[in-house]
Structure 1
Amino acid sequence: MNEHAPAAHHHELPDQAGLERLVGEVLETARAQGAAAAEVTASHEAGLSATVRMGDVETLEYNRDRGLAVTVYFGNRKGSASTADLSSEAVRQTVQQACAIARYTTEDACAGLADPARVARDVPDLALYHAWGLTPDAAIERALACESAARAYDPRIDNSEGASVSSHSGVTVYGNTHGFIGGYPGTQHSIACAVIGRHDDRMQRDHWFTIARDPAELEPA
């Protein structure tokens, strides 16, 4: 089983440009509906997770999540709404909901966007995205190896709560009506295990995990 096989779809670089366009469109919609100011966050995440226990595969899960949150300001009145449906109609209704809430909330002198002078204009690359071409078979193999190593560490370890391996990637984009739209892709990879030891009539549980943005920085199991 080759964990360096071509990356599956959930390992592809997220579509940051597409989310940036969406955020820009939502800001325009908010302005068209009367908001004096607005800010929007959109995200898209995907990943793979494998869990084993006592040498057997318990779960193999794929996840793909999308979301959008919008906050509008009518003077010092604020309204927020969110959706996981990024279709045009769902996004339009979400903006409408945020505007309706803002029109009926009490004023808050502290509500509003940050001063335009504080808006970032140069967004550095923090190297947060490091893809891991982890296949389902490789994830299962790593989880089994991790659990096996933990159980073999001491003969008193006679039970396991399982081991898991996961790899997730995503992109987050933020924009506001001060003219800022920016985002960043990121990854998060992890390996974890928990086992139970027994000595006479006493039992003890402990766990271990490693987590990193770059799979090369994960500790060996």
Structure 2
Amino acid sequence: MALAMKVISQVAQQRKTLEEAVTTALELAAGKSDGAEVSVSKTTGIGVSTRYGEVENVEFNSDGALGITVYHQNRKGSASSTDLSPDAIARTVQAALDIARYTSPDPFAGVADKDLLAFDAPDLDLFHPAEVSPDDAIELAARAEQAALKADKRITNTEGGSFNSHYG
């Protein structure tokens, strides 16, 4: 349970950081465009693979990205970055604005009317982080491969076993 609480705390902090990135991007685009849409993502997790009961690969990852689409005079420009620093966000917004200058006008491009947008998303209770240590993940991957080998004597080789757990 301690691991889950730590993960939940980390996710809360990451959410705050992502919300700040969105706010920064929207503020930078506000004075230079007719409207903007921003999306952010953050994924964290572990991937383990074993072969013949031996560890083949252990990967920890923490990936994030920000994408922005700006609309200016019926023209649309989009850009994205995996760097969420304020300077990178400013460069990404500017790139989207620059791209919009060169696209063809589209009278139907733009942000949807506010009355068509959803603001109160229900909590669907979908976040349940796995409390699995790297050692446990390795054991689970090795056991999966062993189960395949024991299932039928004709199975003499495998591509190994794997365990993956990610949230974001």
Given the two structures, how large is their TM-score scaled by the length of structure 1?
Answer: 0.70
Letter in 2 for 1:88: P
Matched with 1:84 is: 82
The 5 Å alignment of 1:36-115 reads 36-115=34-113
State the SS of the aligned residue for 1:81.
strand
Letter in 2 for 1:6: L
Q: How many Å apart are 1:146 and its aligned residue?
A: 0.8
**For residues 91 and 41 of structure 1, what CA distance do their matches in structure 2 show?**
12
Matched with 1:183 is: none
Matched, 1:20 2:19: yes
Q: How many Å apart are 1:80 and its aligned residue?
A: 0.4
Distance 1:5 1:59, change over 3 A: farther
Same amino acid, percent of matched pairs: 45
Matched with 1:216 is: none
**For residues 5 and 165 of structure 1, what CA distance do their matches in structure 2 show?**
21
2:37 and 2:70 in contact (8 A); partners too = yes
Q: How many Å apart are 1:6 and its aligned residue?
A: 3.3
Distance 1:62 1:16, change over 3 A: same
2:29 and 2:93 in contact (8 A); partners too = yes
Letter in 2 for 1:117: D
**For residues 48 and 139 of structure 1, what CA distance do their matches in structure 2 show?**
9
Q: How many Å apart are 1:110 and its aligned residue?
A: 2.5
State the SS of the aligned residue for 1:167.
strand
The equivalent position to 2:3 in structure 1, one of 2, 6, 12, is 6
**For residues 154 and 129 of structure 1, what CA distance do their matches in structure 2 show?**
37
Letter in 2 for 1:147: E
The structure that is helix-richer by fraction is: 2
The structure that is strand-richer by fraction is: 1
Gaps of 5+ in 2: none
Distance 1:8 1:57, change over 3 A: farther
**For residues 50 and 44 of structure 2, what CA distance do their matches in structure 1 show?**
21
CA RMSD, 1 decimal: 1.9
Q: How many Å apart are 1:5 and its aligned residue?
A: 7.0
Letter in 2 for 1:71: T
Distance 1:10 1:158, change over 3 A: farther
Letter in 2 for 1:97: A
State the SS of the aligned residue for 1:72.
strand
Q: How many Å apart are 1:8 and its aligned residue?
A: 10
**For residues 59 and 5 of structure 2, what CA distance do their matches in structure 1 show?**
14
Matched with 1:209 is: none
1:8 and 1:133 in contact (8 A); partners too = no
Q: How many Å apart are 1:75 and its aligned residue?
A: 2.4
Q: 1:165-218 CA distances to partner (integer Å, 9 max, x unpaired)?
A: 011111xxxxxxxxxxxxxxxxxxxxxxxxxxxxxxxxxxxxxxxxxxxxxxxx
State the SS of the aligned residue for 1:46.
strand
State the SS of the aligned residue for 2:64.
strand
Given the two structures, how large is their TM-score scaled by the length of structure 2?
Answer: 0.91
State the SS of the aligned residue for 2:136.
helix
State the SS of the aligned residue for 2:143.
helix
**For residues 152 and 6 of structure 1, what CA distance do their matches in structure 2 show?**
33
Which segments of structure 1 move beyond 3 Å, counting only runs of 4 or more? 4-12
Matched with 1:125 is: 123
